[in-house]
Chain A
Amino acid sequence: MNKKISQIIDALTTHPDSDSIRVLETLGTNSPDNDIREKTSRALVKKNVHDSLKVVIINEGKGINDLSPVVAMSTINEILALKDKTEVLHILEDTIKMHSNETVRENAASVKSLLAL
């Protein structure tokens, strides 16, 4: 991965500005590079706020729903590593109940069962 982009993602991960989530979503999760998508998804999980977790859970083709298994598994691992899982559980429950796409619902249910273990 490009060193400069990696550094930008790291800076956005700890950035206090909420606009950093938008930048990560726009430029990171839509990147054709698997490594950049993986790093961005992990960065969004690390932020552990509603808006950032929503990006990697409810969007098709992003985060846990990424077509690349490496990106999806890496995101799930990062979710499992969270100390405070309150917000992520809340979003997962809402996704399982209300999301229109069945695959997204199933993925959310799988992650929730993993968290319950």
Chain B
Amino acid sequence: MATIDKISAILNTKIEIPFKIKARESIHTNPFKDSKFDGKILPADIFEGSELKSQNKAKMVLSAIAGSVSNFSKKFVEPVAAFCKNIKEKTLSKCSSAWNYLNTTTLSDLGHSITDLGHSITEKVSTMRKNAEMKKISDTTPTTELEALWKKENELILMEAA
């Protein structure tokens, strides 16, 4: 009988499956819950690793700042230098072309260019005058004025034909 009781007692006890995944609530619980320190005080240098990590982090940050500053100076200085070089080259080329122009141009050429300039100015002024007169011609303009303009135009045509 006693043997039967022992067997029934064994059968009644829950056998835990070794690889069964426990409930999810255990994930966020205290990791040291099951640890037993038995009244022993943990030494302070137990977190030495974390201190080292923070020191390393600080070093990394500093090195990153130093690197970016050096890169910035490099990136800033190089375009400025290129810009200055470009300006210098352009100025030199302009000066040389101006010098060449002065060397090759004679006084007669200058005279021609001034005459051309005068002609173009005269043409522009006459075009402006004509445009202003065109704007003046409308059915509100007095007939005497229109007649005078027509006569003037006829005279100009005759002069051009002559």
In the complex, are the beta carbons of A4 and B134 less than 8 A apart?
yes
- B104: shortest Cβ distance to chain A, in Å? 43
Where chain B touches its partner, the secondary structure class is: helix
Whole-angstrom CA separation of A16 from B142 in the bound complex: 10
Whole-angstrom CA separation of A16 from B139 in the bound complex: 8
Where chain A touches its partner, the secondary structure class is: helix
- B132: shortest Cβ distance to chain A, in Å? 12
Contact segment of B34-42, B67-75, B88-96, B146-154: B146-154
A17 at interface, CB cutoff 8 A: yes
A116 at interface, CB cutoff 8 A: no
Given A4-B130, A4-B134, A8-B137: A27 and B151 within 8 A (CB)? yes
- B72: shortest Cβ distance to chain A, in Å? 66
Count of interface residues, chain A, beta-carbon cutoff 8 Å: 19
- Please, which residues of chain B bring their CB within 8 A of the CB of A26? 147
In the complex, are the beta carbons of A5 and B150 less than 8 A apart?
yes
Whole-angstrom CA separation of A8 from B143 in the bound complex: 10
In the complex, are the beta carbons of A8 and B146 less than 8 A apart?
yes
- Please, which residues of chain A bring their CB within 8 A of the CB of B137? 4, 7-8, 11
Whole-angstrom CA separation of A7 from B157 in the bound complex: 16
Whole-angstrom CA separation of A3 from B137 in the bound complex: 11
Whole-angstrom CA separation of A11 from B141 in the bound complex: 8
B133 at interface, CB cutoff 8 A: yes
Whole-angstrom CA separation of A31 from B151 in the bound complex: 11
B115-135 to A contact mask, C-beta < 8 Å, 1/0: 000000000000000100110
B138 at interface, CB cutoff 8 A: yes
Residues of B within 8 A of A (CB): 130, 133-134, 137-139, 141-144, 146-147, 149-151, 153-154, 157
Nearest first, the 6 closest Cβ-Cβ pairs linking A and B are A14-B139, A19-B143, A23-B147, A15-B139, A7-B137, A17-B143
